[in-house]
Structure 1
Amino acid sequence: MNEILRMSMNEMAEADFDCSCGRHHSLPIKKIAIGKGVINQLPEVAAAFKGKQVYMISDNNTWKAAGEKANRMMTEAGFEIKNYIFERGKEILIPDELAIGRMLLEMPLDTALIVSVGSGTLNDMAKYLSSRTGVPYIIVCTAPSMDGYVADGAPLICNGQKISYVATLAYGVVGDTDIMKAAPMHMIHAGLGDVLGKLTALTDWSLAVAMIHEYRCDTCVKLVEEALQKCITNAPLLKERNEEAILYLIEALTLTGVTMAIVGVSRPASGSEHLLSHYWEMDFIARHKYPELHGIKVGIATPIVAEIYELLKDDLPAETKALVPRREFVEKLLRSAGAMISPKEVGIERELFYRSLMEANTVRKRYSVFQYAKDQGRLEEVAEIITERIYGK
């Protein structure tokens, strides 16, 4: 029972066990390689496809970071590679109809394996393409920036709206800390923000259990909490690109993806903080503005959600009350790594901020502290208090 609690990150591939939560869990990912120098294991991870057509996707930044080396290693090992490199300047790559369509158009008919070299956007597009074509994919991680490397959802932009499509899990994950510690610091901050979001995500999950009797797997909760604690302890070292801190960060991000995969829902990793992030992003896209990185917005949203919980603390169920993180604690962790903490720093105006607090519960059908505050008749009060604290009267 729960042998996954005794496994290392790399041993979790193809985990299959009966859990104390009463369910049987399995992780169909074939290979996980996280650690120093593991990009050298890429030909071994992809060995089942040797001699077959491989479609490698990157952008001009990730090509320099890891794509060129991955291409050379696989070519020398006997793989047939077709590369497609998205060219972009300073703008972020938007995973919309144009990008997805272009990626599909460039894909060889006899592709046996997709290899995506990148982080959030390139991973999401590859897993979507994989799910629609039936061709497995491997992700070569280039930044510890988000938790979707081993998740089966693909948040994409369609008709200006952010929609999380059901996609597929990766065949293999290769995360080399030598590569990821050299990622732009902004992306490392994004990873930290995404990890700290688990503080409020787990609190939301507890609230949903207490209020609407939602299913929860305590094994998954324990896995996330243990990984989260390592990141919290080492957060100040991220600004120095400390290798151990980077390893704990990518392990936590990967592990929360594993927990999502084995329980089949995103509860272990995503709560009210993600609802705010998605709301802000959809507003920016609708106004043709480039949104901030997902994890940066999640990091900013997490202390805000923590403050909502603090304001409602006296009325919360006892178990949930015990999990509530303090706003100042989360902000201190973000500051210790040099990350942003205010919505004003990413261009979120007062009107958008207030509206997001009032309407975040509409982003997706999921019980959250926003719904709880609304049901208690206190959402408007809470929104006004927090908006005035950040933006003034």
Structure 2
Amino acid sequence: MDEVLNYSMNEMAGADFDCSCGRHHTLDIRHIIMGQGVLKELTKVLEPFSGKKVYMLSDNHTFKAAGDRVLSILEGEDYLVKNVMLDSGDDILIPNEQAVGTMFLNLEPDTAVIVAVGSGTINDMAKYMSARTKIPYVIVCTAPSMDGYVADGAPLILEGKKISFVATLPYGVIGDTDIMKQAPMHMIHAGFGDVLGKLTALADWYLAKEKVGEYCCETCVTLVQRALDKVTGSAEALAKRDDDAVLYLIEALTLTGVAMGLIGVSRPASGAEHMLSHYWEMDFIAKGKFPELHGIKVGIATPVIAEIFELMKDEVPKEAMKLAPSREYVEGLLKTVGAPVYPTDIGIDRELFYNSILEGYKVRNRYSILELALKTEKLEEIAAKITNRIYQ
């Protein structure tokens, strides 16, 4: 029981075990391959699709990062490759109706497998298409920037709003650290911020367990905490693109996805910090502004939620409070790696920030510290206090 706690990252694929939480967990992913120089393992992963049609999806940035090498590997093995590169110019790719429509319009009949080369957006789009077409997909990771590689949700933009669609888990994941450590430092900061978000997400999960009786799996909590410890303990090395630190980061992001896959919900990865992030993102997109990377926003939101836990400590059960980090601790980690720390760093104005604390709980139907503050009639006071501290 709970033997998954003894598995290496690459042994997580196909996990199937009885858990001490009382449930039976499975992870329907055939291959998880992380490490240095592992891109060459792509042909092994795709062996069952040999000689068949492959749909390769990337954007102009991720094609340069690894897509050209993936295409060379596929064509060298005589796969029938439909290469689709979505061009977003100098901007990041927005997964809206136009991008998703272009992706689907290029899909050919009898496609056997989708090979996505990218990180957050490309992965989300590919898993959405995989879920709708029942064509398996493999993701070749280009940046340790988010935790969605092995998650089954696909956040896309519909009519200007960010909606998380039910999608599917990948057939295989390949994370080559030789590729990922070369990602723009801003994307590495985003991955670090997304990992830090698990600090408050786990506290929120325990809060929901204690306050409303929500199911909580201790095994998944332990998986995420172990991964968190390795990342926070190597923050200085990550700032220097150290190979081991980059590997710890992508492993933590992937393990969080594994935890979500095992229990079928995003609780191990997402709490009130994600609600703030999504609130800011929707506002930015509605105003035609650059929405900033997801993990950057999560990283900035995490010390804010940590502070709310501190201000609500008399109302928070002890077990949940033990998991909640201090604001200073989280801010210190962000500063160590050189990541943005404050909402003002990414252009969030006073009104948007204040409103996000008041209304962030509406973004997702999930119990969190924001809802507890609302129900105890402390949310407005807390919103004003934190806003005044930041926007002096």
TM over 0.5: yes
Give 1:159's aligned amino acid.
E
Per-residue deviation, residues 299-329 of structure 1 (Å, max 9, x unmatched): 0000000000011112211111211200000
Counterpart residue number, 1:308: 308
- Match of 1:210, as an amino acid? E
The CA deviation at 1:75 is: 1.5
| Residue 20 in structure 1 maps to residue 20 in structure 2 | yes
Larger displacement relative to structure 2 (252-261 or 65-74): 65-74
Letter in 1 for 2:148: G
Aligned-pair distance for 1:60?
A: 1.3
Q: Distance in 2 between matches of 1:324 and 1:74?
A: 46
Tell me the equivalent position of 1:370.
370
1:30 corresponds in structure 2 to 30
Give 3-state SS (helix, strand or coil) of 2:338's partner. coil
TM-superposition CA deviations, 1:312-368 (whole Å, max 9, x none): 112211111211200000011010000000101111000000000000010010000
- The equivalent residue for 1:50 is 50
Residue 386 (structure 1) aligned with residue 358 (structure 2): no
SS at match of 1:78: coil
CA drift at 1:256 = 0.1
Write the distance in 2 (CA, Å) between the matches of 1:340 and 1:288. Answer: 21
Instruction: After superposition, give the CA deviation of every residue in 1:29-88 in whole Å (9 maximum; x if it has no partner).
Output: 001110000101001011110100000001111111111111111221232211001112
Letter in 2 for 1:365: N
Q: Does 1:144 align with 2:160?
A: no
Q: Provide the rounded CA distance (Å) in 2 between the counterparts of 1:10 and 1:307.
A: 36
Q: Name the Cα RMSD after superposition.
A: 0.6
The answer to whether structure 1 residue 124 and structure 2 residue 154 are counterparts is no
What is residue 5 of structure 1 aligned with on the other side?
A: 5
Work out the CA distance in 2 between the residues paired with 1:60 and 1:287.
Answer: 25
Distance 1:314 1:324 in 2: 13
What's 1:347 paired with? 347
Aligned to 1:101: 101
Shift of 1:238: 1.3
SS of residue paired to 1:303: helix
Tell me the amino acid that sits aligned with residue 102 of structure 1.
T
Q: Any idea what the Cα deviations from partners look like across 1:118-140, whole Å, max 9, x if unmatched?
A: 00000000000000011000000
Matched, 1:274 2:279: no
Partner SS, residue 13 of structure 1:
coil
Tell me the TM-score normalized by structure 1: 0.99
Equivalent residue, structure 2, for 1:41: 41
Aligned residue type for 2:382: V
Number of the residue aligned with 2:238? 238
Amino acid at match of 1:258: V
Q: Distance in 2 between matches of 1:159 and 1:143?
A: 28
Match of 1:173 in 2: 173
Distance, in Å, in 1 between the alignment partners of 2:75 and 2:34 is 22
Q: Distance in 1 between matches of 2:298 and 2:199?
A: 11
Could you give the per-residue CA deviations for residues 189-242 of structure 1, whole angstroms, max 9, x where no partner exists? 000000000000000000000000000000000000000000000011111100
In the alignment, the residues of structure 2 paired with residue 61 and residue 275 of structure 1 have an alpha-carbon distance, to the nearest angstrom, of 28
Q: 1:323-338, aligned counterparts within 5 Å?
A: 323-338=323-338
> Given residue 156 of structure 1, which amino acid in structure 2 is its aligned partner?
L
Shift of 1:107: 1.1
Q: Name the amino acid aligned to 1:336.
A: T
1:210 alignment partner in structure 2: 210
The alignment's TM-score, normalised by the length of structure 2, stands at 0.99
- Which runs of at least 4 in structure 1 moved beyond 4 Å after TM superposition? none
Counting matched residue pairs gives 392
Match of 2:73 in 1: 73
2:156 matches 1:156: yes
Aligned to 2:133: 133
2:83 is matched with: 83
Question: What is the aligned-residue identity percentage?
Answer: 62
In structure 2, what residue type is equivalent to 1:243?
Answer: D
Between the aligned partners of 2:197 and 2:364, the Cα distance in structure 1 is 17
Partner of 1:115: 115
SS of the residue corresponding to residue 81 of structure 2 reads strand
* Other-structure match for 1:285: 285
Counterparts of 1:362 and 1:194, CA distance in 2:
21
Greater mean deviation of Cα atoms: 162-171 or 102-111: 102-111
Q: Secondary structure at the match of 2:74?
A: helix
Matches of 1:339 and 1:237, distance apart in 2: 14
Corresponding residue for 1:320?
320
Counterpart AA for 1:211: K
Structure 1: distance between partners of 2:16 and 2:315: 40
Does 236-245 or 112-121 show the bigger shift? 236-245
SS where residue 314 of structure 2 aligns? helix
For residues 282 and 208 of structure 1, the distance between their equivalents in structure 2, rounded to whole angstroms, comes to 26
Superposition deviation, residue 108 in structure 1? 1.1
Q: Tell me what 1:188 maps to.
A: 188
